[in-house]
Structure 1
Amino acid sequence: MSEALADWVERSFGVRPADIAPFVRALTHSSHADGQHGDSYERLEFLGDRVLGLAMAEWLWETFPDEPEGLLSKRFNALVTGAVCADVARSIDAERHVRLGKQAQGDGAQHSDNVLGDVLEALLGAVYRTAGFDAARAAVRLLWADRLHAEARAPQHPKSALQEWAAANRRAVPAYAIVQRQGPGHAPRFTVRVSVGKDSVEAEGSSKQDAETSAARTLLEQLEEQAAANGAKKRRRP
């Protein structure tokens, strides 16, 4: 197992681990570790989150030298979300290697955005601890290579876009509320409602932030469609 796992780490992260133990820990959910946080990925995930943040910030700073801080922040926030980290984890087939307790595995936690996003960050933490920051930086650039230039312009986060639309159209500030939380702790589902005045929509997500983002995107699309329709009606009037 150790040799096969080391081969996978080398293929996925570009570094051959001299010590496989941190990578085993990075793939171990607390349900498998009997609640012992030192044996699960949680501490490495904490570290890897900061490693990813620094590596990504440096990369964006170098790649887009003419963009101000605000645009760099938009790019950064779009690239390091839990959902993106989970997609990166799926791209290297991390689901096959996650170690779960029987109940969590039965619940399909290995497919959860929350679990996979945390595992990916924990693995970056393991790379940093065993091979240093240069190796971790190279791993981030390898794994995110196709995503950095996915959008020519810095993406606008849906929550920020909705807030700006509301302000520009003299509407109420968007208000968010959790409608429901369900599912097991390792794979929760949140339902969130966002309202701008009398207009509101609900959306689901694997985290409160993801649900809010989805709701904001949907409501913004709805409001823009309404505004376009109203504008068309005015133009048709004699």
Structure 2
Amino acid sequence: MHVKNILTAFLTAPLAFATAFALPPPEDSHHSAPSADKFCENDGMVLRPKSDFPNTPIGRTNYNMQSVKMEQAILCLVNWDRRHEHVRQLYITKLIGKTKYRGLGGAAYDHATAAAKLRWWGTVAQYPSCTPRRDDPRRCDPHINPQTRSTPTKRAEDAGYGRGCTKWRVGENAYTAWGNEGLTPLDAFIWWMRSDVHRANMRDPDWETMRMVVVYGSADPGAGANAPGATYVQMFGRCWK
């Protein structure tokens, strides 16, 4: 079955955009991305739809735990690469207790959910109300929501990231696939590693924390209505106190 992958990276430095689509591995790469069937725990996991789980507290918990396990797999893969590059290891910060501020995880979830629902990560011809990419006006910018016009920085700010920081910075990578292949955390990581901008984003020495959310369904408007799909949004952050 034909599988279409769209990968994009957003590097924030006053609203500067950087995007790439399925680029081949660069010849000057210092080391190759892992190609084993199992490199990090759950890196070959495929997100199952909510309908596969009973509508009970345990069923809902097990459904949500899928994304948590896949986030840990991506973190393992990213930190594997950063160790080779002698760059600080990333960690995951989760907010505890009742708070309206959800941080990078909330921003990533909102964007991934909206992308899978609206499915604008294609061409302007397919989704005329989207914001065109700066480097390719024929294609939609997947990092700007066509309804809210939010950017990664705005979504992070709205989710409370940066509170208490003297300054802060965020970055975003995104990936979507549909069909029977390309749906796992390892697939997303390898695609990001094959792109200069995605790889640079994952290796950026500024970052100290990472959050990643995967939701069921493809953000690609060309995806089949009933085809399995996955949409990943990976966010990085740095807070200077």
TM-score higher than 0.5:
no
More helix by share: 1
Bigger Rg over Cα: 1
**Which of the pair has the greater relative contact order for Cα pairs under 8 Å at 6+ separation?**
2
